[in-house]
């Protein structure tokens, strides 16, 4: 092979055959398809990359979010997360993620108007919601109802049409908080609250969650701002599990409601959207500050993990965790201090001085303090992943849009390395050897 730029290439020698290949390198990556030509013999399929969990495989080129995990850097469209958290609003950040630039005042006002006027849901969705059992998990309800939106908006199938894409994006950002609040009210047996479009994005969500008999809900401005910043911090995180799900499902050409429902489904898992709940459970289990050293010892001895610590990408303090810690103090000024906060602070203090955590580069991540804030605001633990989903929606949609427009993309369809049986002939049921059947049953039970 002749690479495009031979100074920017790999020279690969296949020791099985002694043949040498040159593989182009672009943007610090090679195309695994360029390895397909490397064969042991003519009828060989060619070399594959094996990378479960995509630890070292880029699935796309993206202009949206930049992370440098070693230096603790997170930027949306080039803007540091710290600046957005301090100066921006969630809706402005959503605009930035989706459109690529910060809006001027006129565009921001129009965008805000557009989102606010898509907050209501079709009344049939209420019947759909009512069909869930009284104790249904709000995240399960969100997965189902976001998917159901696709049946209300069949025009969304026209994903090649930019105007249609824009409309679905506004609808989804506007309606997700409404569905989220309805899922909570359903589980509590409370009547649903209609959106109040005079309130901010976060204020309206708090109203739909917590308004009772008052004529008008007035959100606490500190909690309203804290929630808005938490949404900003969760708005995107490049190719994480749920975003990858949105892109993979979207690559089939399906409408964005169905693709985003797949993102919600991925976020439902405890390894993704559920870690802040695990932090709260861990803090409750520790119980008091004086038990912290004993707990740290048990983690070091291998009896469990310090939840809310460590990250696949960040090998430094997660920049979002620093901002969240500050918000936690602001929120507790309003709500009263949770005794769990003192346990968390002591855990962090000891862990950051302990060689076990230092040598493994384990620092607090986004989940270490976020659950404490949500709990102080009155959200039940079941709602934590739902809150994550509200924040992540602009990220999913900007990544989905980028994917739809990306000419390099194809339907997501990984390869496998087949290690099963070679071809064999079917055997009549009476002739199957007994030990073979038992072996299969044993394997099935293990599944």
Contact footprint for ligand ACO (CB under 6 A):
272, 275, 299, 305-312, 360, 362, 365-367
Rounded Cα distance, 312 and 360, in Å: 12
Q: Tell me the angle at which helices 138-152 and 123-130 cross, rounded to the nearest 10 degrees.
A: 140
**Looking at beta carbons only, is 39 or 272 nearer to ligand ACO?**
272
Cα–Cα distance for residue pair 183/188, rounded to 1 Å: 9
Cα separation, 433 vs 302, in Å, equals: 44
Using DSSP's 3-state secondary structure scheme, residue 14 falls into strand
Q: Note the residue count of the chain.
A: 447
Query: CB nearest ligand ACO: which residue?
Result: 310
Q: Report in angstroms how near the CB of residue 187 gets to ligand ACO at its nearest.
A: 24
Which tokens is 176 given? 């997700």
Residue placing its CB nearer to ligand ACO in the complex, 61 or 312: 312
Residue 266 CB, shortest distance to ligand ACO, in Å, is 11
Closer to ligand ACO by CB, 147 or 391: give it.
391
- The least CB distance from residue 53 to ligand ACO, in Å, is 9
Beta carbon of residue 312, minimum distance to ligand ACO (angstroms, whole number): 4
Closest CA to 6 of 30, 25, 29, 19: 25
Decide whether 143 or 307 has the Cβ nearer to ligand ACO.
Answer: 307
**190 exposure class (CB count in 10 Å sphere: 0-12, 13-18, 19+):** middle
In the sheet that holds 65-68, the strands lie side by side as 65-68, 73-76, 79-80
The smaller minimum CB distance to ligand ACO, of residues 35 and 309, is found at 309
CB of 52 to ligand ACO, least distance (A): 12
| Shortest Cβ 385–ligand ACO spacing (Å) | 10
Of 252, 262, 255, the C-alpha closest to 151 is: 255
Active site residues: 272, 311, 367
Q: Which SS3 state, helix, strand or coil, does residue 128 take?
A: helix
Cα atoms in the 13 Å half-sphere on the side-chain side of 373: 27
Phi and psi at residue 20, in whole multiples of 5°?
-115, 140
CB 339 to ligand ACO: min, Å: 21
Q: Which helix (H) or strand (E) holds 163?
A: helix 162-188
CB neighbour list of residue 332: distance below 8 Å, 6 or more residues apart: 338, 341, 376
- Rank residues 95 and 384 by Cβ distance to ligand ACO and give the closer one: 384
If the CB atoms of residues 291 and 312 are measured against ligand ACO, the closer one turns out to be 312
Dihedrals phi, psi of 183, to nearest 5 degrees? -65, -40
């Amino acid at each position: 092979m002749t690479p495009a730029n031979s100074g920017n290439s790999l020279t690969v020698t296949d020791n099985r055959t002694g043949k040498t290949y040159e593989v182009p390198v672009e943007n610090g990556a090679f195309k695994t398809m360029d390895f397909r030509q490397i064969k042991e013999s003519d009828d060989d399929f060619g070399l594959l990359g094996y990378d479960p969990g995509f630890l070292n495989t880029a699935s796309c080129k993206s202009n949206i979010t930049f992370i440098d995990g070693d230096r603790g850097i997170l930027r949306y469209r080039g803007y540091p997360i710290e600046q957005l958290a301090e100066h921006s609003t969630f809706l402005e950040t959503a605009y930035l993620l989706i459109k690529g630039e910060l809006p001027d005042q006129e565009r921001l006002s129009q965008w805000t108007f557009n989102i606010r006027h898509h907050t209501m849901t079709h009344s049939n969705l209420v019947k759909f919601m009512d069909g869930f059992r009284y104790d249904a998990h709000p995240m399960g309800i969100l997965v189902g109802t976001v998917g159901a939106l696709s049946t209300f908006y069949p025009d969304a199938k026209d994903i090649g049409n930019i105007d249609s894409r824009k409309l679905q994006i506004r609808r989804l950002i506007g309606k997700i908080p409404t569905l989220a609040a309805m899922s909570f009210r359903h589980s509590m047996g409370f009547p649903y609250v209609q959106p109040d479009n005079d309130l901010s994005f976060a204020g309206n969500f708090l109203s739909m969650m917590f308004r009772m008999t008052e004529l008008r809900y007035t959100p606490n401005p500190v909690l309203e701002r804290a929630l808005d910043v938490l949404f900003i911090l969760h708005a995107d995180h490049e190719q994480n599990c749920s975003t990858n799900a949105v892109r993979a499902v979207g690559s089939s050409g399906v409408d964005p409601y169905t693709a985003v429902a797949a993102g919600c489904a991925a976020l439902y898992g405890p390894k993704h959207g559920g870690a802040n709940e695990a932090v709260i459970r861990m803090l409750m289990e520790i119980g008091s500050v004086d038990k912290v050293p004993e707990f740290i010892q048990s983690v070091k001895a291998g009896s469990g993990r310090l939840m809310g610590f460590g990250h696949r990408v960040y090998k430094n303090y997660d920049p979002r965790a620093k901002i969240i810690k500050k918000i936690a103090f602001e929120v507790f000024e309003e709500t009263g201090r949770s005794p769990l906060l003192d346990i968390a602070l002591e855990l962090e203090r000891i862990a950051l001085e302990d060689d076990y955590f230092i040598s493994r580069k384990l620092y607090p991540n986004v989940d270490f303090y976020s659950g404490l804030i949500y709990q102080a605001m009155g959200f039940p633990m079941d709602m934590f992943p739902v809150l994550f989903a509200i924040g992540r929606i602009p990220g999913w949609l900007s990544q989905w849009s980028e994917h739809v427009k990306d000419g390099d993309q194809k339907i997501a369809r990984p390869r496998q390395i087949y290690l099963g049986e070679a071809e064999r002939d079917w055997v009549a049921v009476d002739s199957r050897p007994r030990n073979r059947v038992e072996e299969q049953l044993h394997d099935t039970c293990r599944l």
